[in-house]
């Protein structure tokens, strides 16, 4: 059992595999009310669609109830309340806190004062550990293994918490070659035919001080049907989503496109994680 889930740095291979085994069992056998009577609190100081709603769906499918906020505008943060005070209060209202915040290190700060486990649902450009569990589950489903493969990551490498969290965790597996490409400074096309997995991330515009730089990066890559031709037929294109122009809708129907399938795994993987943090297994 893990309590706080703040960073992927302390993940072990065997724990990840247990989360995946439980996720697969939930998909196969359906959900039972293992979290009946529990309250999950979601504190989202930054926008989210998939992460918050998949945690919420997972909690409700397991019989828990959910309360929280999805933007700071309706909270006392706008009155100047500190993160620490907000978290101290929320600790009284539920059994676990799922939190997203624009500042790197905020989840760790929250865990210092919370009286209940904290799950980091993204802290600035730093970490997004539940996404990593989901991405690894997706890779396993997509290519059948977590060892001996090549992953090409294309996009805003510098600001992507998804890339940061996944990249360190992949070191737990054997013979994984990682190619991280910022398309503004390096051409990704010569690498397309080597990859078993291609992770495409959007430009994290909200983390740029110079919006012109964000636009330059955004305009430097767009996966085309011609790019898909160059990929292995068994390759899978994944993305945490949302997408903007980098993943045009005209590639959605190619066999390599796997990002919507990936998003569907969010509920069982986050369900398995909630169960683990709350001591069900």
Pick from 161, 164, 236, 270 the residue near ligand NCD by CB under 6 A: 161
CB of 152 to ligand NCD, least distance (A): 17
Choices 2-10, 25-33, 163-171, 197-205; region in contact with ligand NCD by CB under 6 A: 197-205
Under the binding rule (CB under 6 A), the answer on residue 159 touching ligand NCD is no
DSSP helix, strand, coil percent of the chain (3-state; round to 5): 45, 15, 40
For position 50 contacting ligand NCD by CB under 6 A, the verdict is yes
Residue 41 or residue 130: which is nearer to ligand NCD going by CB?
A: 130
H/E stretch holding 177 = strand 176-181
Q: What is the DSSP string of 182-201?
A: -TTTS--GGGGGG-SEEEE-
Least separation in angstroms between residue 201's CB and ligand NCD is: 6
129 is a contact residue toward ligand NCD (CB under 6 A): no
Q: What is the 3-state secondary structure (H, E, C) of 27-54?
A: HHHCCCCCCCCCEEEEEECCCCCHHHHH
**Cβ(6)–Cβ(121) under 8 Å?**
no
Distance CA 240, CA 259 (A): 7
- Residues with a catalytic annotation lie at 50-51, 79, 100, 128
What x/- string results for residues 226 through 265 when contact with ligand NCD is judged by CB under 6 A?
Answer: --------------xx------------------------
* Distance in angstroms between the alpha carbons of the first and the last residue of the chain: 7
| Binding range to ligand NCD, per CB under 6 A, among 108-116, 172-180, 201-209, 220-228 | 201-209
3-state secondary structure of 260: helix
User: Which residue's CB is nearer to ligand NCD, number 10 or number 244?
Assistant: 244
Of the candidate residues 68, 117, 122, 268, the single one contacting ligand NCD (CB under 6 A): 122
Q: Which two tokens stand for residue 177?
A: 């070659």
Shortest distance in whole angstroms from residue 266 CB to ligand NCD = 8
Q: Which two tokens stand for residue 86?
A: 């907000």
User: What six digits make up the tokens of 40?
Assistant: 């999950």
Residue in the structure block whose two tokens are 């031709």: 229
Q: Candidates 128, 164, 236, 270: give the one binding ligand NCD (CB under 6 A).
A: 128
| Binding-site ranges for ligand NCD (CB under 6 A) | 50-51, 122, 128, 131, 161-162, 201-202, 204, 240-241
């Amino acid at each position: 059992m893990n309590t706080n889930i703040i960073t992927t740095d302390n993940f072990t291979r065997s724990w990840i595999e247990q989360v995946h085994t439980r996720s697969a069992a939930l998909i196969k056998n359906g959900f039972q009310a293992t979290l009946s009577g529990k309250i999950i609190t979601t504190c989202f100081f930054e926008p989210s669609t998939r992460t918050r709603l998949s945690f919420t769906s997972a909690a409700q499918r397991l019989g828990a109830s959910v309360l929280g906020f999805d933007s700071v505008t309706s909270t006392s943060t706008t009155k100047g309340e500190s993160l620490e005070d907000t978290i101290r209060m929320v600790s009284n209202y539920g059994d676990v806190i799922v939190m997203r915040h624009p500042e790197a290190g905020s989840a760790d700060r929250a865990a210092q004062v919370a009286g209940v486990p904290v799950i980091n649902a993204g802290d600035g450009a730093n970490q997004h550990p539940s996404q990593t569990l989901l991405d690894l589950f997706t890779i396993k489903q997509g290519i059948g293994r977590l060892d001996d493969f090549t992953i090409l990551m294309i996009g805003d490498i510098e600001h992507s918490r998804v890339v940061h969290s996944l990249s360190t965790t992949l070191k737990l597996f054997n013979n994984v070659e990682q190619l991280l490409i910022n398309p503004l400074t390096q051409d990704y096309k010569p690498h397309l035919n080597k990859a078993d997995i291609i992770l495409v991330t959007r430009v994290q515009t909200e983390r740029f001080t110079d919006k012109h730089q964000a636009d330059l990066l955004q305009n430097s890559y767009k996966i085309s049907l011609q790019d898909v031709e160059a990929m292995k037929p068994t390759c899978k294109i994944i993305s945490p989503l949302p997408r903007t122009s980098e993943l045009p809708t005209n590639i959605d129907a190619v066999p390599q496109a796997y990002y919507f399938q990936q998003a569907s795994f969010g509920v069982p993987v986050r369900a398995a994680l909630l169960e683990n943090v709350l001591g069900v297994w």
